[in-house]
Chain A
Amino acid sequence: GEDVEQSLFLSVREGDSSVINCTYTDSSSTYLYWYKQEPGAGLQLLTYIFSNMDMKQDQRLTVLLNKKDKHLSLRIADTQTGDSAIYFCAETPSGSGGGADGLTFGKGTHLIIQP
């Protein structure tokens, strides 16, 4: 079955880089996603990576994918107080042809910013 694992908390100082890690078990996942959820709000799609890519960069965000180890990471450069949120890693279950089975989410990592 599918399982997505994340650390529950990450604390960083403002201005430093944050690296949020995720491991997944479904090796046939086509897309892997990072979502951000601020308190009391819905989920905001931050970025995604196709499984045949190793890296994707989008402004302050860098996604690294190690398909062999089934490890995904999200690096946020120059972390700001507005980055404080829960970050969910998500994958598409295998055999679903994409979204037909929805997304499988990790438990989420709470990013805490220290001044």
Chain B
Amino acid sequence: DTEVTQTPKHLVMGMTNKKSLKCEQHMGHRAMYWYKQKAKKPPELMFVYSYEKLSINESVPSRFSPECPNSSLLNLHLHALQPEDSALYLCASSQDVLYNEQFFGPGTRLTVL
């Protein structure tokens, strides 16, 4: 299995909602990443998890809360988002942070109303 899967594919939420994005990989990778990609822009790193511990938080607002329950799963909990948070949220994984061959999931298209 060489895939990174993400659910849901699309999500529409109001500014008062709480939702979660999920990411899963079964490649035995120990590093996982969240990126945000706005339209016509490159992906921007949000968080890095290494061996289930948060190692990088790129000054992301607290309304985004990552969680890594185990080595295969990565969640992104969303609460009180703003319309400008609408974007494609991409999850990626790599063998570990020493090897940066990152494999990306298809992304979750998030729209905040």
Contact = CB atoms under 8 A, between A and B. Distances in A.
Contacts of B100: 30-31, 33, 92, 98-99, 103
Contacts of B42: 88, 105-108
Contact of B45 (A31, A88, A102, A108): A102
Contact of B48 (A30, A33, A99): A99
Interface residues of B, number: 30
B97 A97 contact: yes
Given A102-B33, A105-B42, A107-B42, A42 B98 contact: no
B94 interface: yes
A105 B6 CA distance: 21
Interface stretch (B68-76, B78-86, B105-113): B105-113
Contacts of B50: 100
A9 B102 CA distance: 25
A88 B105 CA distance: 16
28 contacts: A33-B100, A33-B101, A33-B102, A35-B104, A41-B106, A42-B4, A42-B104, A42-B107, A44-B104, A45-B103, A45-B104, A88-B42, A98-B94, A98-B96, A98-B100, A99-B31, A99-B99, A100-B48, A100-B50, A100-B55, A102-B33, A102-B45, A102-B56, A102-B58, A103-B100, A105-B43, A106-B42, A107-B42
Contacts of A92: 100
